[in-house]
A and B are shown apart, each in its own frame.
Chain A
């Protein structure tokens, strides 16, 4: 049980992120959930690479056991890519807010639906005349 504790916390964080992404309608809250999900992936990669009694993978003569450097490399790049894509998502949210006046998913869908209905009606009216 205790040997797998970090995995269980990772799964919990992942599912919390997934829940926020699905359940919340606010686009910024969705992005927060997405970044929690992403952070849990960092944990999923880094935790198995740790060796108790080992040290950070910076070679020195007085140490012989090192934690695995490969996950560190993968996640290091993933963090920076993560913030860049988060910013891209936020930029899209800002543009949506400017276009629709709201960033609540339900309100956006309602607005889209209203526009569609209005367009269909005007097309019908044109077809009738």
Chain B
């Protein structure tokens, strides 16, 4: 598969648009279909596609292991951190309306960061699972 010209050319054409679409789905998620879970899986699928065509090591040089592993935890921490920010600003845990003077803008801000947290964790987990399965197949050196 590594030397299949058609696949490589098509992949090069498609992957930027897949990643761009993932970001569109993430940031346009308030107004159209989309959100953190969808964008995270699409982003993960895009990088996995890249890894399948060009080899896992190429994908790992784009997003190294330590980045992916910290993405796993960073997303959950960001999500939980939004809740704690709500606590510090005088609301209950995961109350968003205290995040701004205007309650509706506070809601939007909370939803944005929460969705960002979901995106980071989901994309990280998809990629980490793929790396793990792909690297397990190699003989130990």
Interface residues of A (CB under 8 A from B): 56, 58, 76-77, 79-80, 83-84, 87, 90-91, 94
Contacts and interface: CB of A to CB of B under 8 A. Distances in A.
Contact of A80 (B31, B122, B133): B122
Given A80-B40, A80-B41, A56 B133 contact: no
Contact of B129 (A56, A58, A77, A87): A87
Given A84-B125, A91-B132, A94-B136, A77 B37 contact: yes
Contacts of B132: 91
B37 A58 contact: no
A76 B36 CA distance: 10
A46 to B, nearest CB: 14
Contact of B33 (A56, A79, A83, A94): A56
A94 B129 CA distance: 13
B32 interface: yes
Contacts of A80: 37, 40-41, 122
Nearest to A60: B31
B43 to A, nearest CB: 13
The 8 closest A-B pairs by CB, nearest first: A87-B129, A80-B37, A76-B37, A80-B122, A84-B125, A94-B136, A58-B32, A80-B41
Nearest to B126: A83
A90 B133 contact: yes
Contacts of A58: 31-33
Contacts of B32: 58
Nearest to A98: B136
